[in-house]
Structure 1
Amino acid sequence: MSNVEAEPAELTCGGPPGGPVEVLEARSVPLGGPRAMPVRRTLPQRKRSLIGAWCFADHYGPVDPAVSGGMSVGPHPHTGLQTVSWLFAGEIEHRDSLGTHAMVRPGELNLMTGGRGICHEEVSTPETTALHGVQLWVALPEEHRHTGRGFQHHAPPVTALPGATARVFLGTLAGETSPVRTYSPLLGAELVLAPGADLTLETEAGFEHGLLVDSGEVTFAGTPLGSTQLGYLGTGHATLAVRNRAAVPARVLLLGGPPFGEEILMWWNFVARSHEEIVAFREAWEAGAEQFGAVEPHPGGPARLPAPALPAVRIRPRPNH
Structure 2
Amino acid sequence: MSILTPRDVPLGGLRAMTVRRTLPNRSRTTIGAWCFIDHFGPDEVELTGGMNIGPHPHTGLQTVTLLFEGEVEHHDSVGSVQVIKPGQVNLMTAGTGISHSEESTGTVPRLHGVQLWVALPDADRTVQPFFEHHVSPRTTIGDAQVTVYVGSLQTDNGIITANPTTFTPLLAAEILAPAGATLTIPVDPSFEHGVLVDTGAAEIQGEWAPKDHLAYIDPGVGFLTFVIGDEPTRLLLLGGTPFEEELVMWWNFIARSHDEVVELRRQWQQDVIEGVNPDGIFGHVDYAGPSIPAPEMPHVQLRLRKLPRSHE
Which residue in the other structure is 2:282 paired with?
292
Which residue in the other structure is 2:274 paired with?
none
Q: Is the 8 A contact 2:72 2:83 kept in 1?
A: yes
CA distance in 1, matches of 2:225, 2:241: 19
SS at match of 2:299: coil
Query: Are 2:189 and 1:199 equivalent residues in the alignment?
Result: no
Which residue in the other structure is 1:209 paired with?
193
Counterpart code for 2:130? G
- Aligned match for 1:121, one of 101, 116, 120: 101
Query: Displacement of 1:45 after TM fit?
Result: 1.7
Q: Is the 8 A contact 1:31 1:71 kept in 2?
A: no
CA distance in 1, matches of 2:240, 2:43: 31
What do the CA deviations read for 1:37-76 (whole angstroms, capped 9, x no partner)? 2110101121111101000000010011221121111000
- How many residues are treated as equivalent by the alignment? 297
Counterpart code for 1:150? F
SS at match of 1:284: helix
Counterpart code for 1:172? S
Structure 1 residues 178 and 159: alpha-carbon distance in aligned structure 2, compared to 1, 3 A threshold: same
SS at match of 2:123: helix
Which residue in the other structure is 2:150 paired with?
170
Which residue in the other structure is 1:222 paired with?
206
Which residue in the other structure is 1:55 paired with?
35
Q: Which stretches of structure 1, 4 residues or more, deviate above 2 A after TM superposition?
A: 31-37
SS at match of 2:172: strand
CA distance in 2, matches of 1:214, 1:38: 15
Task: Identify the range of structure 1 (51-60 vs 121-130) with the bigger mean alpha-carbon deviation.
Answer: 121-130
Q: Is the 8 A contact 1:73 1:302 kept in 2?
A: no
What 5-or-longer segments of structure 1 have no aligned partner? 1-20
CA distance in 2, matches of 1:32, 1:157: 31
Alignment of 1:230-309 (within 5 A): 230-246=214-230, 248-288=231-271, 289=277, 290-297=280-287, 301-309=288-296
Task: Identify the range of structure 1 (234-243 vs 77-86) with the bigger mean alpha-carbon deviation.
Answer: 234-243
Task: Identify the range of structure 1 (151-160 vs 137-146) with the bigger mean alpha-carbon deviation.
Answer: 151-160
Output the aligned Cα RMSD.
1.2
Query: Are 2:141 and 1:161 equivalent residues in the alignment?
Result: yes
What do the CA deviations read for 1:90-141 (whole angstroms, capped 9, x no partner)? 1111000110000111110000000000000001112131110000000000
SS at match of 1:287: helix
Which residue in the other structure is 1:31 paired with?
11
**TM-score normalised per structure 1:** 0.90
SS at match of 1:295: coil
CA distance in 2, matches of 1:89, 1:245: 22
Counterpart code for 1:216? G
Query: Are 2:26 and 1:46 equivalent residues in the alignment?
Result: yes
Alignment of 1:41-190 (within 5 A): 41-174=21-154, 175-190=159-174
Which residue in the other structure is 1:3 paired with?
none
What do the CA deviations read for 1:139-180 (whole angstroms, capped 9, x no partner)? 000100010111111111211111111111101102101111
More strand, by proportion? 2
Identity %: 48
Q: Is the 8 A contact 2:244 2:306 kept in 1?
A: no
